[in-house]
A and B are shown apart, each in its own frame.
Chain A
Amino acid sequence: MPGRFRPLIAVPLLALVLAGCADDAELDTLQPQGPFSRAIDDLLNPVLIVAGIVFVLVLGASFYMAVKYRVRNDAEDEWPEQTHGNTRLEILWTLIPAVILAVIAVFSTATLFFLNDEQANAITVEVGGEPVSWEPEVVVVGQQWWWEYRYYFDGVDLEGVQTAQDLPPADIVTATQMVIPAGQEIELITTSRDVIHSHWIPALNGKRDAVPGRFQPWLIEADDPGVYFGQCTEFCGLSHSRMRMQVIALDEAGFQAWVDAQTAPYAPESEDAQAWLAQQRALTALAEGEELDEEPLPAPSATAVERGIVTFRQACSSCHLVDGVNDDIYTGATVVSGAAPVLTHFASRTTYAGGIFHLYEPDGSMDENTLEAWLRNPPAMKDMYAPTRGMPNLGLTEAQIDDLVAFLADTGTPPSDWAIAESEVE
């Protein structure tokens, strides 16, 4: 038993050691990048050491006995001293683990209550030119199989809100990636529109379940600007493995710039498109029986972006919103959760479709091929139960796809080069 057993036993132990050394693991729990994940790490490390010592002692005792007391001759009829027990010894080794655990429990409980703080310190953000004192607060909504992030600069009033479907309109709504100021506590209020999901950015804190009908507050914080990876960790059905997200932490100026960009609705450059959208808006606003007293404008078609705006408004409005294009007719998504990713400022994100595709190539150019393939047949690109739970194949023509891609590329400025680079999985 002894010699050959040892390396095998060492595997799990060695495993724990090696895990700390891996540097290419984007989701590594042992490389904290913020105070909350660091508090967890500081709690776990000494316990791992204690556990390692206990493990070595138990194993050591087993091996020692296996060597020392082993009898090779099965027929031998020798009997050792027949000890039946030793109450004092047994009480001792009941107490020793109890005391060790009691000590660990003190630190564990202290950390628990440190982590349980759920109010973030206020920071000042300019919204629409006005400085606002904001206790950073982001409502995180999970649904099959992507994450939505809702920013409320006046705070969110959850009074009377039963489920995530009833959430009030937000100042910024984004999908799949959350942008936060670095070095600030951010309160996340986690919930779900369908089944239970779990929001987890290992570098910034542990995870919290997104439970439909519940709003769970907690904090994350990133020390420095950077991109932090996440993955849904509560089994949520077919594409659970393809429900990913990223947190992008920006410095103060960068975050302010992001807020400025995101709070503005989409405005096309083309005047034809502006005029057409304005007229469409006026048409929507008409009461029944009323008629518009101006000539209907032809849909703009001079550029791909113009055609893309028209196509988007006609083909995508039953699920997707771009503020400034179809907000007048958008009434939510015709899927079980009632929500599809809001695409306002789509081009400012690094990933889409639940965080599984990168919008930009490492060189900063848009990866149009993947986006086109996605629009051509989404269920072929990601397991979904379209059309009730996921994006169906809309049967778009190649021309429509090209136009939509052009329009989507026009919805915002690309993220900075470093964000694109860091959001790649190495």
Chain B
Amino acid sequence: MAISEFPLELESGRPAVAERPLGALTRPRGSQGWTSWLFTVDHKRIGIMYGAAALFFFVIGGIEALLIRTQLVQPDGNLLSGDAYNQVFTMHGVTMIFLGAMPLGAAFANYLIPLQIGARDVAFPRMNALSFWVFLAGGIFINTSWFLGGGADGGWFAYAPNTGLVFSPSHGMDFYAIGLQITGIASLVSAINLIVTVLNMRAPGMTLFRMPVFTWMMLVTQFLLLFAIPVITVALFLLMFDRLYDANFFNVEMGADPLLWQHLFWIFGHPEVYILILPSFGIISEIIPTFSRKPIFGYTFMVFSGIAIGFMGWGVWAHHMFVSGIGPVSVAAFSLSTMFIAVPTGVKILNWLATMWGGRLRFTTAMLFSVGVVSMFTIGGLSGVTHALAPADTQQTDTYYIVAHFHYVIFGGIILGLFGGFYFWWPKVFGHKLSERLGKINFWVMIVGFNLTFGPMHILGLQGMSRRIDTYAQGYGFEFWNLVATIGSYILGVAVLLFLVNVFSSWKRSKHEAPVGPDPWDARSLEWSIPSPTPEHNFDETPVVHGLDEWWHRKYGVDEDGKVVRLAHPEEIAQKGDGTGVHLPSPSYFPLLIGIGLPLIGYGLIFSLWFAVPGALLVLGGIYGWVFEPPDDPDAPHGHEDHHDVEEAPVG
């Protein structure tokens, strides 16, 4: 809030005018042209870039998935060698989790949190840019392994000692260990940034319990990231030292216990599941009330069940290890905790249904995807209960039954929700809707493809098909359902393609169409009270919040009979987007420089320390320059009448 009203000053009262840290180089300016994207600190542009990059990686991960399914379409498949298959399924998991689903969540968080809480930007705009560039650099770094000796081949879970040098001599696991440390920096920076943003930058009147459920779920997610990322970073760091510097953290001959890795990985890995799904829960908690024309049912329950999931998510990690040999007491304890985490999740499902109950449902594409989440995630949740039964899990674990389960959670629960979010917020971000007609086709093709792909995997798993096998022999009864699953996966591929077609054709079409208004869906939260696409400065003036669903309450009231009456039309009361004097944080070179530097250090560690020299210089130089760079550029025109006596000059 404060940031949008005053120029930043040092506490001493001295204006924050600093020397140019790079001497002759001037600070980047302007909001036009491609360079403005490279140096931007605008949370909206960063959100868009997060989304675009994540979709790119999502498509790569999808291609890897199609390779997997093509290999398994019939017994003794030989499209891929065993070695190539292991790389492909490992990179599929790594790409989808760390480079697809997580940053897609980050895209929504970055774009929407400041808008939903009525803020100008996030708390630390340059840190925000840093987290994006570091994520992108890490993602590209991991994927360059394909051209530098092969991708990681130890599974995304990377169980020691199979990932040690002896058993995985290529550089793939080095790329994994270092690349994920780099993307981990991105997640950590972003988590701290968004936590501070939510806690400190809410508009006047926006108490914590007036925040939209989406922002709440994102807040919980950021706390999970804050505590989970360090754990996997420790694990990756140990792995890196084992591989590069002959350490013995996972060397059984030297007395190491391989279960150390499993504990570290899953203490991160299970909260990670909630890191992935809570954003989706948040998204559909915005969409379902909007298209049911009812407020979310049991807001407090929804928020607290999200928080409960956030806490309980830390107490279930060893359910990934029921057959690892952790002892019956541990197994029993984690079996119980895993069953009971179904309770807050079940509450959410029932509250979404209750939100729809008695509503006036408009099945837009976004709503279809959201109802898709409720039903498909329920399947994933119920199969989850069947392997919370530790004895049953000893049959199910590491079979396709598990693959089916977590794809119903991750695709059915997360990806469907994110697609719903795309359709819902697309007009806010780009100023035009995605085609609803194509969108509905997109949804139905996706739901068919999804169920055909992953539904049969339940059967395959119960029939005893192991995970992570590059081929299977004839005669075990796996033939038919693998064929069905592969057909389904191609339908799923078509669905993703349809989405991309929709993006493109809607963009073409929008040029001939009137822009959508500020509030095309008749929605409820503050981001709909400003023009679409969101103006660079977000809010002309900081909104003052009086309750939950602030924007809806400005449009509608309830008369004595309990009937909803319209108070105003959105166009009348929405902000015009013509605000002047809004102070904008200035662009910066340094986040990008640091982002470029980190993977160079990574290459240096793997191949030759000489590569690390320019990388280290970029990182250190970037930090140095950043430290001496004031948050706002004193030479830049802000249009703020109280600011320096700088003329409104054309921006170059």
Q: Which of A66, A78, A80, A383 contacts B371 (CB 8 A)?
A: A66
Which residues of chain A have C-beta atoms less than 8 A from B239's C-beta?
A: none
Q: Is B167 an interface residue (CB 8 A)?
A: yes
Which residues of chain B have C-beta atoms less than 8 A from A27's C-beta?
A: 463-465, 476
Q: Is B192 an interface residue (CB 8 A)?
A: no
Which residues of chain A have C-beta atoms less than 8 A from B340's C-beta?
A: 98, 101
When the two chains form their complex, are residues B324 and A209 in contact, meaning their CB atoms are under 8 A apart?
Answer: yes
Residue of A nearest to B166 (CB): A336
Q: Pick out which of these stretches binds chain B: A52-60, A124-132, A133-141, A320-328.
A: A52-60
In Å, the complex CA distance between A231 and B398 comes to 11
Q: Which of A58, A211, A236, A241 contacts B324 (CB 8 A)?
A: A211
Q: Is B86 an interface residue (CB 8 A)?
A: yes
Q: Is A378 an interface residue (CB 8 A)?
A: no
In Å, the complex CA distance between A98 and B256 comes to 40
Q: Is A281 an interface residue (CB 8 A)?
A: no
Which residues of chain A have C-beta atoms less than 8 A from B455's C-beta?
A: 11-12, 15
- Asked, given contacts A69-B358, A212-B161, whether A238 binds B86 with beta carbons under 8 Å apart, the answer is yes
Residue of A nearest to B379 (CB): A12
Q: Is A109 an interface residue (CB 8 A)?
A: yes
Q: Is A82 an interface residue (CB 8 A)?
A: yes
In Å, the complex CA distance between A239 and B167 comes to 12
Which residues of chain A have C-beta atoms less than 8 A from B563's C-beta?
A: 79
Q: Which of A18, A97, A229 contacts B342 (CB 8 A)?
A: A97
When the two chains form their complex, are residues A163 and B375 in contact, meaning their CB atoms are under 8 A apart?
Answer: no
In Å, the complex CA distance between A69 and B378 comes to 21
Q: Pick out which of these stretches binds chain B: A112-120, A149-157, A407-415.
A: A112-120
Which residues of chain B have C-beta atoms less than 8 A from A90's C-beta?
A: 298, 301, 347, 350-351
In Å, the complex CA distance between A83 and B364 comes to 22
Residue of A nearest to B388 (CB): A108
Q: Which of B168, B393, B454, B463 contacts A25 (CB 8 A)?
A: B463
- Asked, given contacts A11-B451, A15-B455, A163-B252, whether A22 binds B391 with beta carbons under 8 Å apart, the answer is no
Residue of A nearest to B460 (CB): A19
- Asked, given contacts A22-B463, A27-B463, A66-B363, whether A238 binds B83 with beta carbons under 8 Å apart, the answer is yes
Q: Pick out which of these stretches binds chain A: B43-51, B289-297, B584-592.
A: B289-297
In Å, the complex CA distance between A43 and B464 comes to 18
When the two chains form their complex, are residues A25 and B385 in contact, meaning their CB atoms are under 8 A apart?
Answer: no
Q: Which of A9, A19, A79, A229 contacts B462 (CB 8 A)?
A: A19
Q: Pick out which of these stretches binds chain A: B137-145, B467-475, B502-510.
A: B467-475
When the two chains form their complex, are residues B463 and A28 in contact, meaning their CB atoms are under 8 A apart?
Answer: yes
When the two chains form their complex, are residues B360 and A80 in contact, meaning their CB atoms are under 8 A apart?
Answer: yes
Q: Pick out which of these stretches binds chain B: A198-206, A359-367, A397-405.
A: A198-206
In Å, the complex CA distance between A4 and B375 comes to 15
How many residues of chain A get a CB closer than 8 Å to chain B's CBs? 106
Q: Is B56 an interface residue (CB 8 A)?
A: no
For chain A residues 19-62, which have a beta carbon within 8 Å of chain B? 19-20, 22, 24-30, 37, 39-40, 43-44, 47-48, 51, 54-55, 58-59, 61-62
Q: Pick out which of these stretches binds chain A: B22-30, B101-109, B206-214, B329-337.
A: B329-337
How many residues of chain B get a CB closer than 8 Å to chain A's CBs? 117
When the two chains form their complex, are residues A109 and B336 in contact, meaning their CB atoms are under 8 A apart?
Answer: yes
Q: Which of A77, A83, A196 contacts B566 (CB 8 A)?
A: A77
Q: Which of A101, A239, A240, A425 contacts B476 (CB 8 A)?
A: A425
Which residues of chain A have C-beta atoms less than 8 A from B335's C-beta?
A: 105, 108-109, 112
Q: Is B60 an interface residue (CB 8 A)?
A: no
Q: Is A216 an interface residue (CB 8 A)?
A: yes
When the two chains form their complex, are residues B375 and A58 in contact, meaning their CB atoms are under 8 A apart?
Answer: yes
In Å, the complex CA distance between A1 and B357 comes to 16
Interface string of A352-375 (1 = CB under 8 A from B): 000010000000000000000000
Residue of B nearest to A42 (CB): B391
Q: How far is the CB of A21 from chain B (nearest CB, A)?
A: 10
When the two chains form their complex, are residues B353 and A101 in contact, meaning their CB atoms are under 8 A apart?
Answer: no
When the two chains form their complex, are residues B343 and A98 in contact, meaning their CB atoms are under 8 A apart?
Answer: yes
What are the 7 tightest A-B residue pairs by CB atom distance, in nearest-first order?
Answer: A206-B394, A27-B464, A241-B469, A79-B564, A425-B475, A25-B477, A85-B298
> Besides A8-B447, A11-B456, 13 other CB < 8 A contacts?
A11-B455, A12-B455, A40-B394, A65-B353, A86-B354, A87-B298, A98-B340, A206-B395, A207-B395, A208-B323, A211-B258, A214-B325, A231-B464
What are 24 sample pairs from A and B whose C-beta atoms fall under 8 A apart?
A1-B368, A30-B462, A47-B386, A47-B392, A55-B382, A65-B359, A66-B363, A69-B357, A74-B364, A77-B566, A82-B294, A85-B301, A89-B354, A93-B347, A97-B342, A108-B390, A196-B258, A198-B398, A202-B464, A212-B161, A233-B397, A233-B399, A235-B468, A240-B469
Binding site for B on A (CB under 8 A): 1, 4-5, 8-9, 11-12, 15-16, 18-20, 22, 24-30, 37, 39-40, 43-44, 47-48, 51, 54-55, 58-59, 61-62, 65-66, 69-71, 74, 76-87, 89-90, 93-94, 97-98, 101, 104-105, 108-109, 111-113, 115-116, 144, 162-163, 194-196, 198, 200, 202, 205-209, 211-214, 216, 229, 231-242, 336, 356, 383, 389, 425-426
